[in-house]
Amino acid sequence: MDLQLNGKTALVTGASRGIGLAVVRALTAAGVRVVAAARRTTPELVATGAHPVVVDLSDPAGADRLVGQALAELGGLDILVNNVGGGDGGLSGGFLELTDAQWAQVVDLNFFATVRVTRAAMPALLATRGAIINVSSISARLPHSGPVPYTTAKAALTAFGKALVHEFGPRGVRVNTVSPGPVRTDMWQSPTGYGAELAASMGVPQADLMAGLPAATGMLLERLIEPAEVAAFTAYLASPLAAAITGADHVIDGGAIKTA
């Protein structure tokens, strides 16, 4: 399918691995010139042909610096994909064990980083009548399904997209949210990630936790979601083919959420 994106420009955050890397691959394959932001550059990211920018978006000054570099490289901006997030490691304990510092770190990375990047990029997106896609999680709808600071931050991110389109939709900027269920990323697969910590707290091997995760989360698939599947839909939402789609939270969860 021709997404009619050839020659468009995009900024993708959290781009070095997982969903972010898959989004960069999908957009560059469609002919988009991409600035890819991450805390570190990887060979896989360089191989996409995107222009990598090393930035720590937990630094409040990082957003303005990133957008400035993106506009200098691209000359304008049609698409913003806010994928930066994570920071869920070390949060497998209960609510009473979590400190203010842990809350602040997780909320800053999963919510405020997107607020800051969006604010910095909005003038350029207004000029092109562009598109914003925020990557949230079904944890926003199922807040018991993960560490409470993480799920709370994702719920704020989903609400942010709804509020943003109310203000800027009449001025031509589309805003959509993509909320995946469990995706085959380092969050679950890394030996030092949330999946490993959760398995250890349950006293089960990580491989067993992973094998049972789809059924445990109510998915109707017998596997995790692949990053490329989330990326393909994200690229579609960024394209002119989705010109009438805005202000929505799109769940990609393999049927885990059973409500309408």
DSSP assignment letter at 96:
G
Compute φ and ψ for 225, nearest 5 degrees: -75, 140
Q: Are 89 and 150 in contact (CB under 8 A)?
A: no
* CA pair distance 135, 181, nearest whole angstrom: 11
* CA pair distance 206, 38, nearest whole angstrom: 27
* CA pair distance 62, 75, nearest whole angstrom: 19
DSSP assignment letter at 235:
H
Q: How many CA atoms lie within 13 A of 134 on its CB side?
A: 34
Q: Rounded to whole angstroms, what are the CA distances from 57 to 113, 131, 183? A: 6, 21, 23
The sign of the dihedral angle between the CA atoms of 16, 72, 55, 83 is: negative
* CA pair distance 168, 86, nearest whole angstrom: 27
How many Cβ atoms from other residues are within 10 Å of residue 125's Cβ? 24
Catalytic residues: 150
